Structure 1
């Protein structure tokens, strides 16, 4: 649980400096306790909002195209976000700060020449402050705050305080990115090790299996008794190879599942695909709680396969991924607006769909695939928890 820092403006007189230092210290410690980049972004926003006593706070992370790769906010509910619409790209004050990346403090953002408009569902903001999070000359993100709870709007002291906090937050955010990068390298090294083990163990077993089968085939007529013995050995070797393959598959369980759980792992996977493909891919999830490892693995693999199919075959403009728990079952939905299946029988087509159904059945789950020509495809996986 994160402890929010005290609001300096609530502390009178000579105690104010101590309150400021304590607030910054509490906020920075809250940030550095988290290793996931997404978690760090969320805690930075939450801490900055509490630090300056603002009603609204947001943090945008720039991409390579002059827009936002990620955008997190506090003070706006999920329902409000849905009504507001897509992630901010290049617009108004946010676009101006992306280009300039200098601190901005305004008594009323609506009266500034850089202000353009908000979506109809967007909350009406008045006093505004924005400060970049820098690592040297590199802008890691921009913190935006609006509507200070105490009268008078944001002060120059607030700007100094937020700038100080941003400098410390930059360290935490940089550390989180380095940690995630090192974890990715660790995963690559682990997969390389597993490939070597598969080659050494399973490949040799399959080679022996092939030789034994050839021997049994040559003995069927000349020596049926020996042929039967060789066939028995084939069965034993096949069983051993299957056992080793299953063990290898278990070990290949993504490390992210163990560290961050299914929802965060799948969110990151979707975010990567969204950046790599022109298709708009979105992800939504509710709290899942603890899930059995087998269920997590199945849901992740089916989601990856469904996304792969949609990106490769659907010719879609958007793909939606939703993950939630309904009763005692975890439910995964993957929906695209692509071309659909022309023959109306999607469940029978392709090894990918067969593989997804086999995965679902292996953990007592069900897979439903529906599609109509020109109406896209809908994949639903339900797995008992």
Structure 2
């Protein structure tokens, strides 16, 4: 039993499904003393999603036109969900024979890898090296390995599923970062260049602000790829972040901007502070692109374990419930980003009067 545990523990350390399967097949072949061992994972449609084998040389493998397709004895294991032990598999009616080029094999021992009613795979071996048929002890040994293997495969599958979820979340993070930050900055640069193009006498120096802004965007793209943005929020004050956003969006040139915000670091974690700034950035971008406002005011304060930011403009307003509008994706990103960090967003807008964006994020306690 100790050998079984050691073998399966070694297999689980692989961390990737294909390598785990290969190591389990190696362990089974070694413990029983079989000439050949293989492990297949069904795809749910009667075929095999994964298949690995040990015991055949590269030359022998090259002679076989295709791997098993989940029929014959393998199909019987999948459907019957019980072990099959044969002295001569050619005499069994369930056997479908071998494809051309496959080396001859005689005795067979196959077991399902399952937990309850869930089938994870089939482990099978052929021809003991000592020439003896597989016995009851061999069957018990492989069934025991299969039990451990089921848990190992389930664990690795869960890990891969979590990795896929993390990858999806990372894609979402980058997507929101692109829309809420970089794309809005590029839009502001574009508006500035359009304004310059309409002027009769453009001097090279007039392009310097746009060039500087483009360099900032390039730095941001690099930081997002390397996931370094959060660290930059550890030392910045609220005023520095808000002022930087207003400048990069070109709002100082277009609007009367009022910043009623502290010249101090907020009581927020760097990750939460970054999320808050991205939300404000999206809100300010909407003001620049759609509001047709004359004035915008940003206020920040800390109260009752929450940190509040209000962005208010006197523009034309819109319907916050209409996600099909030009504001739609930005509003979804704002709300989603706030929820991911325990925050809340309220948007009040009145046609002809203006829009108020109110953000509330959880603040750090006094003790950190």
Identify the TM-score tier after normalising by the shorter chain.
0.5 to 0.7
Partners of 2:78 and 2:112 within 8 A in 1: no
Instruction: Please say if 1:63 is aligned against 2:63.
Output: no
Larger radius of gyration: 2
Conservation of the 8 A alpha-carbon contact between 1:54 and 1:147: yes
Q: Secondary structure at the match of 2:11?
A: helix
Which residue in 1 is equivalent to 2:159? Answer: 179
When normalised by structure 2's length, the TM-score is: 0.58
Distance 2:212 2:175 in 1: 24
1:99 corresponds to which of 67, 70, 79: 79
Aligned residues: 228
Which piece of structure 1 moves more, 239-248 or 72-81?
A: 239-248
- CA deviation map 1:184-237 (0-9, x unaligned): 11111111122222223312321221122022112234xx44xx3322322332
Structure-to-structure mapping, 1:254-269, within 5 angstroms? none
**After the TM superposition, which residues 17-96 of structure 1 pair with which residues of structure 2 at under 5 Å, given as runs?**
21-96=1-76
Deviation at 1:105, TM superposition (A): 0.6
Q: What runs of 5+ residues in structure 2 fail to find an aligned partner?
A: 229-368
Distance 2:197 2:139 in 1: 83
Q: What does residue 212 of structure 2 align with?
A: 236
Closer/same/farther in 2, CA of residues 25 and 90 from structure 1, 3 Å limit: closer
Structural RMSD (CA): 2.0
TM-score (norm. length: structure 1): 0.56
Cα 1:164–1:90 shift into 2, 3 Å: closer
The Cα offsets for residues 328-374 of structure 1, whole Å up to 9 and x where unpaired, read as xxxxxxxxxxxxxxxxxxxxxxxxxxxxxxxxxxxxxxxxxxxxxxx
Q: Is the 8 A contact 2:83 2:111 kept in 1?
A: yes
- CA deviation string 1:126-172 (max 9, x = no partner): 11100111111111111010011123221111101111111111111
How many Å separate the matches in 2 of 1:101 and 1:124?
26
Q: Name the structure 1 match of 2:107.
A: 127
Secondary structure, aligned partner of 2:100: coil
Kindly state the Cα deviation for residue 247 of structure 1 after the two structures are TM-superposed.
Answer: 4.3
Q: Deviations over 1:94-145 (max 9, x none)?
A: 2222221210111111222222321221111111100111111111111010
CA change 1:188–1:55 in 2 (3 A) is same
Structure 1 CA distance, aligned partners of 2:57 and 2:226?
38
* Distance in 2, Cα, partners of 1:62 & 1:97: 11
Q: Which runs of 5+ in 1 are unaligned?
A: 1-20, 253-385
Q: Contact (CA 8 Å) 2:81, 2:112: kept in 1 or not?
A: yes
Task: State how far apart, in whole Å, the 1-side matches of 2:88 and 2:192 are.
Answer: 82
Q: Given that residues 212 and 230 in structure 1 are in contact (C-alpha distance below 8 angstroms), is that contact kept between their aligned partners in structure 2?
A: no
**Inter-partner Cα distance in structure 1 for 2:189 and 2:205:** 13
C-alpha distance 90-132 of structure 1, shift in aligned 2 (>3 A): closer
- Contact map agreement 1:92 1:114 (CA 8 A) in 2: yes
Match of 1:200 among 177, 180, 198: 180
Q: 1:79 to 1:242 in 2, by over 3 A?
A: farther
Cα distance change of structure 1 residues 220 and 241 upon mapping to structure 2, 3 Å threshold? farther
Report the Cα offset of residue 251 of structure 1. 5.5
